[in-house]
A = this chain, B = another copy of it.
């Protein structure tokens, strides 16, 4: 059942059918109704390939993410997909893992499918330098980096202010009497670097020496068990710290588990305010990077590109500390 069949059944030309399909401008109400009736009756839907061929778009957006199974990214994909869908756009999903080779291959696959734009979910999609493939993609279609930053023409960046968030958390802990923070992290993404920079800056302003940073910034392994084990080792080696900040909720939870195992109690702060923070016990105080707003903004700026140029190409949102049982500023005594 194609446009010719419908034309025949309706007793009009295919041009008129096309007009009806596309809103019905310049079609008499009578013809319009008649054609629509036939379309409904036959359950006809226009062939997107043919349409795509002529228009060079299939109203499809590509999203690249390292791992949808990660609750934080899952939430991001959920927001993006839903919001894009409200614009009538479908989403092609690409899971890249962390190797550059795979990322580039997935990017190319999306490009080959002629998506209208590409969203990069999280700074794990970007390299610390280079990003050639992404930059050259941005020459052809809009590229929107959600929570990362790549400075090149055609790339829209929407990110939370991670550096400031960690920075001020260190101060909040300090002001509550916890002055020897341990910072745990496990990747070296752009975002991870921002967070570390925040930690270092705060420590330095608080008069910590370099030795302190060496001791109190710990890279953790990949599984929850290994993470906890690494922290236990630290505890048992009598390393000095009186509170913990994790670069992601999972790391903070690993710390909570280790502390619990040694019957230790101290403030713990996570990052992302993911579902894990609510589930953990004690419930985890976590830095919320306002993911939904981030996604809304990203989609909005992308949408602006479809009608002109975006009102901004670099947006930063401040984070917010969501206080739960693992640390409350009001309990400001040690």
- Chain A residues in contact with chain B, CB under 8 A? 45-50, 52-53, 56, 58, 60, 67-71, 73-75, 77-78, 81-82, 85, 90-95, 106, 109-114, 224, 250, 253, 256-257, 260, 275-276, 278-281
**Measured CA separation A45–B113 after assembly (Å):** 10
Contact of A58 among B49, B110, B111 (CB under 8 A): B49
**Measured CA separation A250–B71 after assembly (Å):** 14
**Measured CA separation A53–B46 after assembly (Å):** 12
A296 smallest CB distance to B (angstroms): 15
Contact of A71 among B46, B71, B257 (CB under 8 A): B71
Contact of A260 among B46, B278, B281 (CB under 8 A): B281
Q: In the bound complex, do residue B58 and residue A69 qualify as a contact, i.e. CB atoms below 8 Å apart?
A: no
Q: A68-B77, A276-B279 are in contact. Are A93 and B91 (CB under 8 A)?
A: yes
Copies of this polypeptide in the complex: 2
**Measured CA separation A58–B70 after assembly (Å):** 29
Q: In the bound complex, do residue A281 and residue B278 qualify as a contact, i.e. CB atoms below 8 Å apart?
A: no
- Residue from the set A46, A58, A68, A256 with the largest chain B CB neighbour count within 10 Å: A68
A224 cross-chain contacts in B, Cβ below 8 A:
278-279
Contact of A45 among B52, B75, B112, B280 (CB under 8 A): B112
Q: In the bound complex, do residue B49 and residue A114 qualify as a contact, i.e. CB atoms below 8 Å apart?
A: yes
**Measured CA separation A263–B53 after assembly (Å):** 66
Q: In the bound complex, do residue A113 and residue B58 qualify as a contact, i.e. CB atoms below 8 Å apart?
A: yes
Known: A45-B111, A49-B49. 19 other contacts (CB 8 A): A48-B112, A48-B113, A52-B53, A58-B113, A60-B92, A68-B74, A68-B77, A68-B81, A69-B75, A71-B71, A71-B74, A90-B92, A90-B109, A91-B93, A224-B278, A250-B279, A256-B281, A275-B276, A276-B276
A104 smallest CB distance to B (angstroms): 14
A112 cross-chain contacts in B, Cβ below 8 A:
45-46, 48
**Measured CA separation A279–B90 after assembly (Å):** 34
In the A-B complex, the 7 residue pairs with the smallest Cβ-Cβ separation, listed nearest first, are: A74-B74, A49-B52, A69-B78, A49-B53, A68-B78, A69-B75, A93-B93
Chain B residue at minimum C-beta to C-beta distance from A43: B136
**Measured CA separation A77–B278 after assembly (Å):** 23
Q: In the bound complex, do residue A53 and residue B58 qualify as a contact, i.e. CB atoms below 8 Å apart?
A: no
A182 smallest CB distance to B (angstroms): 20
A–B pairs, 20, beta carbons within 8 Å: A45-B112, A48-B52, A49-B56, A49-B58, A53-B53, A68-B77, A68-B81, A69-B71, A69-B75, A71-B71, A82-B95, A90-B92, A90-B109, A90-B110, A92-B92, A93-B93, A224-B279, A250-B279, A275-B276, A279-B279
